[in-house]
């Protein structure tokens, strides 16, 4: 049994994972779903990390999954606790000393014009789930946006990058390039949108558990 630590993306909440959690539990694993203090202007990377570490408690055998902006936080946990595996899901992959606010220009990100927020983030997600999403959005006013990412190097922990083929927010070619530039990796791919935990939770659970050694 592993403990999956699921870290949500920017402006998000634990709700992002509500379809994935029962899939992982049904496969015999424990799950921790912290909510980062993104509505606290005084909170930065240290507070994000502390929130996750506190939620983990004394659990071990950790697989830390960082979705989108959550990829800035996921490696910080591996710097604090023994982590078995880091999985970066449709991620913003940071580099040492980088401010999140600078990531967009540093990576050469270019959005797809003319798409609504629903089309960017939730294509392929069932309509009834999309209708609930706005109720769970939170204002991200925390201070880490202009804070240099604190690690000097990537943690010495096995790392996987998993991208979604139908992602309209971070296009697949863009994510392949960033993964190669920043981690020297070819990412794995899965069907689904940027919010793949909502569009393809069963398939995502299968991919995450397949990363565990037999």
The answer to whether the beta carbons of residues 194 and 90 sit under 8 Å apart is yes
Domain ranges of the chain: 3-210
The answer to whether the beta carbons of residues 164 and 193 sit under 8 Å apart is yes
Q: Kindly provide the b/e burial profile for residues 142-167, where b requires at least 16 CB atoms within 10 angstroms of the residue's own CB.
A: bebbebebbbeebbebebbbbbbebb
Domain covering 3-210 assigned CATH 3.40.50.1820 in the classification = yes
Q: Is the pTM of this model over 0.85?
A: yes
User: What is the spatial order of strands in the sheet that 62-67 belongs to?
Assistant: 30-32, 3-7, 62-67, 83-89, 159-164, 188-190
Nearest CA-CA partner of 180 in 194, 165, 161: 161
- The single residue listed with the structure tokens 């939770």 is 201
Pairing of strands 188-190, 83-89: unpaired
Nearest CA-CA partner of 158 in 97, 212, 89: 212
- Per-residue pLDDT tens over the stretch 55-75: 999 999 999 999 999 999 999
- Residue 149 clears pLDDT 80, i.e. is over it: yes
Orientation of helix 100-107 relative to helix 172-183, angle to 10°: 110
Per-residue pLDDT at 214: 55
Per-residue pLDDT at 112: 87
The answer to whether the beta carbons of residues 88 and 162 sit under 8 Å apart is yes
């Amino acid at each position: 049994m592993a403990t999956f630590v699921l870290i949500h993306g920017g402006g998000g909440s634990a709700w992002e994972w509500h379809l994935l959690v029962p899939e992982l539990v049904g496969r015999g694993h424990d799950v921790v779903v912290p909510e980062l203090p993104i509505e606290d202007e005084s909170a930065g990377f240290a507070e994000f990390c502390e929130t996750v570490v506190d939620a983990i408690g004394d659990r071990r055998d950790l697989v830390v999954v960082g979705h989108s902006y959550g990829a800035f936080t996921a490696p910080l946990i591996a710097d604090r606790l023994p982590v078995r595996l880091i999985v970066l899901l449709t991620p913003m992959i940071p580099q040492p000393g980088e401010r999140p606010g600078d990531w967009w220009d540093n990576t050469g990100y270019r959005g797809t014009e003319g798409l609504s927020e629903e089309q960017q983030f939730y294509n392929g997600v069932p309509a009834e789930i999309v209708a609930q999403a706005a109720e769970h959005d939170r204002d991200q006013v925390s201070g880490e946006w202009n804070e240099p990412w604190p690690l000097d190097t990537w943690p010495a922990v096995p790392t996987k990058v998993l991208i979604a083929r139908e992602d309209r927010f971070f296009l697949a070619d863009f994510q392949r390039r960033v993964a190669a530039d920043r981690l020297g990796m070819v990412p794995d791919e899965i069907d689904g949108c940027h919010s793949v935990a909502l569009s393809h939770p069963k398939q995502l659970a299968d991919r995450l558990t397949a990363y565990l050694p037999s």
